[in-house]
């Protein structure tokens, strides 16, 4: 195992320009569409997705796949869970009580050990290189399944730092399928109508805007102009549901259960966002790249994840939502079993874990395993393409519809040599 160099801070940041990138800059994929009737078929299920992205790489050894009392196991114990015979790290004391709702895949093997390559590969399902930028998972779901019956934006991203419309996630699907990013969970700037403008005046302004849009669109490709209008439609929908951002309506009990730290607040907002009918919600947490002082970092970070994640799973179940919401917890890779000279763990894509729950996923199972030292997968390894096919099947995407058509070119939605992992499916 080669020791990785310490990462630079900017490897885990997106620039302000990226966050606020104009929709028009992303463009729209010309001639891109799904096979007929896919969206109509899937809309009947109204499945939703919550992706919790722990940017930088969560340590599987301090979470889902502990190896106590081994050479690389570290100082933390393994504790029993609500599933007899299944143990997780003691830092997941709250999640351990929800294990009967979860599924963990301990045999993830994804190869790429750099952030720049790993983040994109994991988020895109590792498609073969066909000369196009594939969409991230959220954009793919937004395209495959469209908005829910609520009409809310199909893809919302709750994250630290700045917000804006992130068109780049959509790849060749086009900017319309990008993510509306809520920086620090806050609403977009100027969301509420200025008090000096009446509703009637606002309607007249929108009519004028539409006339200018129509003039601009005349003689131009529809694919390049739709996204601009779409952003205004999203803004109007959010204006109608501005109560989404009213944190004062959360109970003190919920705030305590989820935690008042950043990830706790964002996961509580994610729960409400799902309740309002958003199709795909992504929640980011940064600074998981523990090249130095790994054990103290995990003691802080994993505990901050554990509390709100367990509360979220419990709430989704109690609200009868869990069977329709697919919850995924992952990073771009795991951490090395070997401890480096900075008492840290480096990048390790060779053998790590992903947790999931909810729609179409078998409850209370652990699939795959690593060897006694946690260095490599023992048995069948699973790449991210396998997981994409698993998730799309869990959401009810028919196998014969697992394809895009881009300018007449058929493209699989993930690596076409991979397939669903049957042991994870309900």
pLDDT digits (tens, 9 = 90+) for 298-355: 999 999 999 999 999 999 999 999 999 999 999 999 999 999 999 999 999 999 999 9
Percentage of the chain modeled with pLDDT above 90: 65
Its sign, for the CA torsion 363, 367, 371, 377, is negative
Between 150 and 49, name the one with better pLDDT.
Answer: 49
Token duo for residue 308: 């709100």
Question: Is pLDDT of 19 > 60?
Answer: no
Question: Is pLDDT of 284 > 60?
Answer: yes
Cα distances from 281 to residues 182, 186, 237, in angstroms, run 11, 14, 16
Question: Is pLDDT of 136 > 80?
Answer: yes
Binned at pLDDT 50, 70 and 90, residue 115 comes out as very high
Between 246 and 79, name the one with better pLDDT.
Answer: 79
Topology at the third CATH level for domain 32-189+241-424:
Alkaline Phosphatase, subunit A (3.40.720)
Q: What is the pLDDT of residue 27?
A: 36
Token duo for residue 203: 């309607």
Of the listed ranges 119-133, 275-289, 293-307, the one predicted with least confidence = 119-133
Which of the listed ranges 31-45, 134-148, 332-346 does the model predict with the highest average pLDDT? Answer: 332-346
Distance between CA 64 and CA 92 in Å, rounded? 8
Q: What is the pLDDT of residue 40?
A: 52
Q: What is the pLDDT of residue 223?
A: 61
Binned at pLDDT 50, 70 and 90, residue 25 comes out as very low
Q: What is the mean pLDDT of the chain?
A: 87
Between 415 and 405, name the one with better pLDDT.
Answer: 415
pTM for this one? Answer: 0.87
Distance between CA 25 and CA 400 in Å, rounded? 33
Q: What is the pLDDT of residue 44?
A: 54
Q: What value does the mean pLDDT take over residues 165-185?
A: 91
Distance between CA 76 and CA 301 in Å, rounded? 14
Question: Is pLDDT of 32 > 70?
Answer: no
Distance between CA 399 and CA 382 in Å, rounded? 19
Q: What value does the mean pLDDT take over residues 97-109?
A: 98
Distance between CA 232 and CA 153 in Å, rounded? 11
CB 140 within 8 A of CB 399: no
Between 174 and 262, name the one with better pLDDT.
Answer: 262
The predicted-structure confidence for 348-406, as pLDDT tens digits, reads as follows 999 999 999 999 999 999 999 999 999 999 999 999 999 999 999 999 988 777 888 88
The predicted-structure confidence for 218-252, as pLDDT tens digits, reads as follows 877 766 677 677 777 777 788 888 888 888 889 99
Q: What value does the mean pLDDT take over residues 6-15?
A: 47
- Where along the chain do its domains lie? 32-189+241-424
Q: What is the pLDDT of residue 30?
A: 32
Token duo for residue 206: 């929108």
Q: What is the pLDDT of residue 245?
A: 86
Q: What value does the mean pLDDT take over residues 395-419?
A: 86
Name every residue whose Cβ is closer than 8 Å to that of residue 239 and which is 6 or more positions away in sequence. Answer: 191, 192, 193
- Helix/strand/coil (H, E, C) string of the chain? CCCCCCCCHHHHCCCHHHHCCCHHHHCCCCCEEECCCHHHHHHCCCCEEEEEEECCCCCHHHCCCCCCCCCCCCCCCEEECCCCCCEEEHHHCCHHHHHHHEEEEEEECCCCCCHHHHHHHHHHCCCCCCCCCCCCHHHHHHHHHCCCCCCCCCEEEEECCCCEEEHHHHHHHCHHHCEEEEECCCCCCCCCCCCCCCHHHHHHHHHHHHHHHHHHHCCCCHHHHHHHHHHHHHHHHHHHCHHHHCHHHCCHHHHHHHCCCHHHHHHHHHHHHHHCCCCEEEEEECCCCCCCCHHHHHHHHHHHHHHHHHHHHHHHHHCCCCCCEEEEEECCCEECCCCCCCCCCCEECCCEEEEEEECCECCCEEECCECCCCCCECCCCECHHHHHHHHHHHCCCCHHHCEEEECCEEEECCCCCCCCCHHHEC
Between 4 and 361, name the one with better pLDDT.
Answer: 361
Token duo for residue 371: 């060897």
Question: Is pLDDT of 84 > 50?
Answer: yes
């Amino acid at each position: 195992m080669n020791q990785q160099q310490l990462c630079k801070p900017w490897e885990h940041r997106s620039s302000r320009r990226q966050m606020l990138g104009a929709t028009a800059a992303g463009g729209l994929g010309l001639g891109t569409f799904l096979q007929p009737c896919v969206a109509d078929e899937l809309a009947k299920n109204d499945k939703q997705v919550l992706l919790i992205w722990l940017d930088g790489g969560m340590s599987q050894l301090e979470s889902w796949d502990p190896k106590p009392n081994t050479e690389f196991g570290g100082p933390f114990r393994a504790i029993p869970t609500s599933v007899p015979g299944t143990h997780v790290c003691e830092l997941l004391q709250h999640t351990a009580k929800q294990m009967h709702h979860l599924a963990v895949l301990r045999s993830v093997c994804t190869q790429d050990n750099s952030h720049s390559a790993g983040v994109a590969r994991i988020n895109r399902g590792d498609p073969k290189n066909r000369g196009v930028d594939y969409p991230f998972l959220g954009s793919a779901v937004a395209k495959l399944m469209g908005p829910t019956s609520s009409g809310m934006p199909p893809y919302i991203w709750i994250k630290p730092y700045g917000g804006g419309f992130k068109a780049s996630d959509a790849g060749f699907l086009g900017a319309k399928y990008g993510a509306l990013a809520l920086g620090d969970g806050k609403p977009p700037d100027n969301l509420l109508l200025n008090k000096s403008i009446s509703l009637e005046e606002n309607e007249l302004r929108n009519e004028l805007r539409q006339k200018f849009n129509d003039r601009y669109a005349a003689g131009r490709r529809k694919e390049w102009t739709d996204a601009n209008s779409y952003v205004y439609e999203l803004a109007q929908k959010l204006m109608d549901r501005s109560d989404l951002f009213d944190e004062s309506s959360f109970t003190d009990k919920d705030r305590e259960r989820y935690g008042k730290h950043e990830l706790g607040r964002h996961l509580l907002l994610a729960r409400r966002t799902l309740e309002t009918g958003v199709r795909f919600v992504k929640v980011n947490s940064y600074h998981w790249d523990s090249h130095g002082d790994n054990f103290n970092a995990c003691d802080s970070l994993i505990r901050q994840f554990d509390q709100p994640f367990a509360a979220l799973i419990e709430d989704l179940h109690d609200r009868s939502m869990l069977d329709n919401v697919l919850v995924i917890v992952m990073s771009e890779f795991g951490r090395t079993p070997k401890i480096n000279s900075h008492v840290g763990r480096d990048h390790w894509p060779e053998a790590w874990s992903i947790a999931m729950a909810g729609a179409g996923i078998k409850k209370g199972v652990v699939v795959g395993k690593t060897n006694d030292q946690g260095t490599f997968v023992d048995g069948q390894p699973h790449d991210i393409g396998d997981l994409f096919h698993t998730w799309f099947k869990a959401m009810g995407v028919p196998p014969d519809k697992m394809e895009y058509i881009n300018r007449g070119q058929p493209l699989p939605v993930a690596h076409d040599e991979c397939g669903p992992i049957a042991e994870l499916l309900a």
